[in-house]
Amino acid sequence: MADELLALGQQILAAQPFSVLLGAELVSFTQGQVAMALPLKPEFGQQFGFAHGGVISFMADNALTFAGGSALGPDVLTAEYKINYVKPGRGERLIARSSVVTASSRQAICRCDIFAVREGVEYLCATALGTIAKRAGRNAENE
């Protein structure tokens, strides 16, 4: 059952060209919880040599959406989120851990902590809070 959810999540991630381009991996995916990893590459940097904020934001956005999707089903979009950068991201990889704070049938409020792993040591890199909304209903209006 947990394996099925993980397999479904990996399928969705594999269907996101941008996640494939960057190399994001779904580490774990259960009801209300997700962990996603991204091996860091030199081309993910900004001018000071750290991971670009856009890379960290990508991890936050994606992990938040997967956490929300674990509660609401696969047809979800991130409505909004806020992110606080805490420390520069560097090292071998980023890990985003997101969980559902609360969910109704139509939206989920989710938190996400993004960690960097440097020489094997994990430290908090950024933290985020956002709203994931069911896509049904948005369609007619937005597309």
Question: In sequence order, what are the residues at sequence separation of 6 or more whose Cβ sits closer than 8 angstroms to the Cβ of residue 65?
Answer: 76, 77, 78, 132
Which DSSP symbol is given to 64?
Answer: H
Point out which residues bind its own copies (CB under 8 A): 12, 15-22, 42-48, 51-55, 57-62, 65, 77-88, 101-102, 104-106, 109, 111, 113, 124, 127-129, 131, 135, 137, 141-143
In the complex, what is the shortest distance from the CB of residue 101 to its own copies, in angstroms, rounded to a whole number?
Answer: 5
Q: Which is nearer to its own copies, 22 or 26 (CB)?
A: 22
42 or 120: whose CB is closer to its own copies? 42
Residue 50: count of CB within 10 angstroms of its CB: 20
In the complex, minimum distance from the CB of residue 89 to its own copies, in angstroms, rounded to a whole number? 11
Is residue 137 exposed (0-12), middle (13-18) or buried (19+ Cβ within 10 Å)?
Answer: exposed
Give the shortest CB-71-to-its own copies separation in angstroms: 13
70 close to 5: Cβ distance less than 8 angstroms: yes
- The answer to whether 82 and 130 are in contact (CB under 8 A) is yes
Q: Are the C-beta atoms of 88 and 50 separated by less than 8 Å?
A: yes
At its nearest, how many Å lie between its own copies and the CB of residue 62? 6
The residue among 30 and 52 lying less far from its own copies, judged by its C-beta, is 52
